[in-house]
Chains A and B, each alone.
Chain A
Amino acid sequence: MSRSLVVIAAIRKLAVPDICRHLLPGAVHAMAIGVCPSDGDIAVAEVLEIGRHSHIDLASGRRAELEAGDRLLVVVGRLFAPLEFSCECPATLGDCALVSSAGAAGVVTGGANGLPPTRLRLLGLAVDADGAVLNLGRLTPATAAPAEALRIAVVSCARGSHATKVTAALTRGLSRAGFRVGVAKPTGAADAAERWRFLDAGASAAVDVVDAGRLCSAGLDAGDLMAVTGTLLGALNGNQAVLLRVAGGLARRDIRALIATPAFAGQVHGVVLAAADALSAIEGARRIAEAGLPLLAVSGAICRSPLAMAEARNGLDCPVLDPQALALPNRLSALLAPFAMARAAVGGERLLSIAA
């Protein structure tokens, strides 16, 4: 089959998912058929049969229902999501599966108990006015070197630690304290609901791997992850405080490697750990200390249980704080006050004055 271009009828009716949020209006001119997809390519797909994902998160933030016959843009490629579907980039156009509500598609290789994935047919690859295939890697703006800001990493000890809740609470607390706050998630995959939660909590911007031109962080080594982190930090220039949400859990090899990178310690002023139980909080704290990172507090799912919090306090030198407390500027400033970083960072004076 040879490559040819097909003009897409009713191109404006194609649903644009969250993962294609950097696509400029009118960027898709036609679709190429008779081509093989590569990782990160944007494809035009038709829904064949609804399965697990019966909706798509649109770039606008609206969650749209899907029905068989609907046409949408997706990004094909390798995705690893332990609690969702994992997939590989399809070798050819044709049948594949929708693997995330953010708009990732591929050939499912594992994951997700229960419902089978929503089935798609890839009709063609999206091309621009020059006939070049649109790829996620080409959509992202030029990278800038990260500017100075107060940077706090929110690291989860394990899945289910409520790190998103902790990050949202810190976002709220910092923005209430007068900071312009950005949130970056350099690991994992795009999750529109999570990004909007940070924006709703007061973040001026929330970025993830998609903003570094990637579908997912799977397979990246510590150096690559650090490069993604740098890109995302650069994209958040102009913010006075940046929260780095490190998703996936401290037990994961890539996360352990990232945390242990001196470059990571060089970019981060302090860490807030999200944990679900006392023992993993204590082990997480040990590993954060080993990496030479200051641990500001432990928070997360553990705070549902006063007894578990007490157990954690017995084994930790840092405060154990309910996520709600992190959303309060006075509690937050008390937390940051002992650290020189609060003074050094842009806006730190304001934070300290609230504490006084």
Chain B
Amino acid sequence: MGLDPIAARQAGLFAAAHQAFSTRRVPGSAFRTLLAGPRVPVAGHLVLAEIVELGQHRQLELVSGRKAHLFPGSRIIVAYGNRYAPDQYEALVPADLGPCDLVAGGGLAARETQRNAAMKSPTRIQPLGLIGDDLGQPLNLSAFALPPQAMPAATPAVFVVCGSSMNAGKTHTVAMLVRGLLASGRRTAACKVTGTGSGNDLWKMRDIGALTVLDFADAGYPSTYGTPVAELEAAFTTLIAACASAGADTVVVEIADGLGQVETAGLLRSATLRQHTTAVLFAAADPLAAAAGERWLRAAGLPLIAVSGLMTACPESTAEARELLGTPVLGAEQLEAGLAFLALLDGPRAGSTP
């Protein structure tokens, strides 16, 4: 079986490796055995791997948030997980422990299936084995997740931010929304229900002063590509409940990727999300995408109150969007001011008007 717990510990194998941000909920003390040999990894399994050849990702974000430089031979502890990133890679968890790729800087192991033309080859890694417990059972992030929770009786106000595509300006919109809400005295938390594990966005929300910042990793997922929508609905509920437990009266929830992504579309169309969502903001890459998003969200019965995103970096695009849309378009200055949202909150819900 390749199970040699004592040797693994004595060699300090795990302590010497860089533990990735994606695995932050798993304490180092849980790493007991190295499970090599023929095994079938699944999403959430932790793996000790060695860098074979550097490609796109030359750094790995650690649990501390520091970005460690990687070199051929560097050892890393990352999680197996699927990646859906139109601007980068699609990658799937392989069916064996053979060579695969580091497909996200937050620490995700998978095998690349397709790639954006702008990307280099991914960094190649050689798994040395799954990481197991004392009994030789592989660890999975799901075992270290927050316990599933139901929505509390006093449901916080929930702002959902979604977008037209990857890199459409969602995170900036979330950041500015959180700033505005905090400035207005709301006890605001931020969370990200879908996507791929990365510390960047989480640190940003923390720096802004969000009361608490959580993502799907806290619900036990290394990434959410391929996760059944019912599980994502449960994760949505758990994360919001956890924010409420931490004292938040307002939660800003980011949903990754564009409306064409399966899990994104599924979660946004779910009754769970609709039931608990106070207002939706849409980040668009360009005015036509904004128009498509507005139509889609209204058809889904969601209370869209404003549109913003990357397109508002260009004054002409902002003006075009204002002509095309029935929803208020928040420009860069309004976002920066962080206060534009407050007027929208006090007014009637734009999404409920025809």
Q: Is the CB of A307 within 8 A of B289?
A: no
Interface residues in A278-296 (C-beta closer than 8 Å to B): 278-280, 282-284, 286-287
Q: Is the CB of B258 within 8 A of A279?
A: yes
Determine the chain A residues whose CB is within 8 A of the CB of B285 once the complex forms. 158, 276-277, 279-280
Q: In the bound complex, what is the Cα–Cα distance between A278 and B166 (angstroms)?
A: 11
Q: Is the CB of A251 within 8 A of B288?
A: yes
Interface segment among A71-79, A120-128, A166-174, A310-318: the answer is: A310-318
Interface residues in A118-168 (C-beta closer than 8 Å to B): 157-160
A316 to chain B, nearest CB (A): 11
Q: Digit string of A244-287 for contact with B (CB within 8 Å is 1, else 0)? A: 00000111110000000000000000000001111110111011
- Give the interface centre of A252, A286, A287 by most chain B CB atoms within 10 Å: A252
Contact among A249, A306, A311 for B115, CB-based, below 8 A: A306
Q: In the bound complex, what is the Cα–Cα distance between A167 and B333 (angstroms)?
A: 36
Please tell me if A308 contacts chain B, counting CB pairs below 8 Å: yes
Size category, B interface? 35 or more
Determine the chain A residues whose CB is within 8 A of the CB of B90 once the complex forms. 306-307
Q: Is the CB of B116 within 8 A of A283?
A: no
Which residue on chain B has the smallest CB distance to residue A315?
Answer: B260
Interface segment among B47-55, B137-145, B205-213, B312-320: the answer is: B312-320
B27 to chain A, nearest CB (A): 35
Please tell me if A62 contacts chain B, counting CB pairs below 8 Å: no
Q: Is the CB of B321 within 8 A of A251?
A: yes
Q: In the bound complex, what is the Cα–Cα distance between A329 and B268 (angstroms)?
A: 42
Q: Is the CB of A278 within 8 A of B314?
A: no
**Main DSSP-derived SS at the B contact region:** mixed
Q: Is the CB of B260 within 8 A of A249?
A: no
The answer to whether residues A249 and B287 also contact, given A277-B258, A306-B90, A307-B86 and a CB cut-off of 8 A, is yes
The answer to whether residues A82 and B260 also contact, given A253-B323, A279-B293, A305-B87 and a CB cut-off of 8 A, is no
Please tell me if B85 contacts chain A, counting CB pairs below 8 Å: yes
B280 to chain A, nearest CB (A): 15
Contact among A159, A304, A307 for B85, CB-based, below 8 A: A307
The answer to whether residues A280 and B289 also contact, given A304-B118, A305-B87, A308-B165 and a CB cut-off of 8 A, is yes
A173 to chain B, nearest CB (A): 20
Q: In the bound complex, what is the Cα–Cα distance between A283 and B321 (angstroms)?
A: 13
Q: Is the CB of A279 within 8 A of B314?
A: no
The answer to whether residues A278 and B316 also contact, given A158-B287, A251-B287 and a CB cut-off of 8 A, is no
Q: In the bound complex, what is the Cα–Cα distance between A304 and B259 (angstroms)?
A: 19
Q: In the bound complex, what is the Cα–Cα distance between A312 and B86 (angstroms)?
A: 12
Determine the chain B residues whose CB is within 8 A of the CB of A308 once the complex forms. 86, 165, 260
Q: In the bound complex, what is the Cα–Cα distance between A253 and B285 (angstroms)?
A: 18
- Give the interface centre of B115, B168, B295, B320 by most chain A CB atoms within 10 Å: B320
Q: Is the CB of B87 within 8 A of A279?
A: no
Please tell me if B114 contacts chain A, counting CB pairs below 8 Å: yes
Interface residues in B273-310 (C-beta closer than 8 Å to A): 284-289, 291-293, 295
Q: Is the CB of B114 within 8 A of A306?
A: yes
Determine the chain B residues whose CB is within 8 A of the CB of A311 once the complex forms. 86, 258, 260-261
Determine the chain A residues whose CB is within 8 A of the CB of B271 once the complex forms. none
A235 to chain B, nearest CB (A): 29
Please tell me if B164 contacts chain A, counting CB pairs below 8 Å: yes
Please tell me if B324 contacts chain A, counting CB pairs below 8 Å: yes
**Main DSSP-derived SS at the A contact region:** helix
Task: Tally A residues with Cβ within 8 Å of B.
Answer: 31
Q: In the bound complex, what is the Cα–Cα distance between A112 and B296 (angstroms)?
A: 34
Q: Is the CB of A249 within 8 A of B165?
A: no
B257 to chain A, nearest CB (A): 9
B319 to chain A, nearest CB (A): 9
Determine the chain B residues whose CB is within 8 A of the CB of A250 once the complex forms. 288
Please tell me if B80 contacts chain A, counting CB pairs below 8 Å: no
A140 to chain B, nearest CB (A): 28
Please tell me if B21 contacts chain A, counting CB pairs below 8 Å: no
Q: Is the CB of B86 within 8 A of A280?
A: no
Q: In the bound complex, what is the Cα–Cα distance between A82 and B284 (angstroms)?
A: 19
Q: In the bound complex, what is the Cα–Cα distance between A305 and B85 (angstroms)?
A: 9
Which residue on chain B has the smallest CB distance to residue A250?
Answer: B288
Q: Is the CB of B261 within 8 A of A280?
A: no
Contact among A160, A307, A314 for B114, CB-based, below 8 A: A307
Determine the chain A residues whose CB is within 8 A of the CB of B260 once the complex forms. 278-279, 282, 308, 311-312, 314-315
- Give the interface centre of B118, B287, B323 by most chain A CB atoms within 10 Å: B287
Determine the chain A residues whose CB is within 8 A of the CB of B293 once the complex forms. 279
Q: In the bound complex, what is the Cα–Cα distance between A157 and B288 (angstroms)?
A: 7
Which residue on chain B has the smallest CB distance to residue A110?
Answer: B315
Determine the chain A residues whose CB is within 8 A of the CB of B317 once the complex forms. 158-159, 251
Q: Digit string of B157-173 for contact with A (CB within 8 Å is 1, else 0)? A: 00000001100100000
Q: Is the CB of B165 within 8 A of A82?
A: no
A313 to chain B, nearest CB (A): 10
The answer to whether residues A279 and B259 also contact, given A251-B286, A307-B90 and a CB cut-off of 8 A, is yes
B56 to chain A, nearest CB (A): 15
Interface residues in B78-132 (C-beta closer than 8 Å to A): 84-87, 90, 114-118
Q: In the bound complex, what is the Cα–Cα distance between A315 and B261 (angstroms)?
A: 11
Q: In the bound complex, what is the Cα–Cα distance between A305 and B166 (angstroms)?
A: 11
Q: A157-B288, A279-B284, A305-B86 are in contact. List 9 more A-B contacts (CB 8 A).
A: A277-B165, A279-B260, A279-B288, A280-B164, A282-B292, A283-B295, A304-B117, A308-B260, A314-B260
7 contacts across the A-B interface (CB closer than 8 A):
A158-B288, A278-B260, A279-B289, A280-B285, A280-B287, A304-B117, A312-B260
Q: Which residues of B contact A (CB under 8 A)?
A: 84-87, 90, 114-118, 164-165, 168, 258-261, 284-289, 291-293, 295, 311, 314, 316-317, 320-321, 323-324
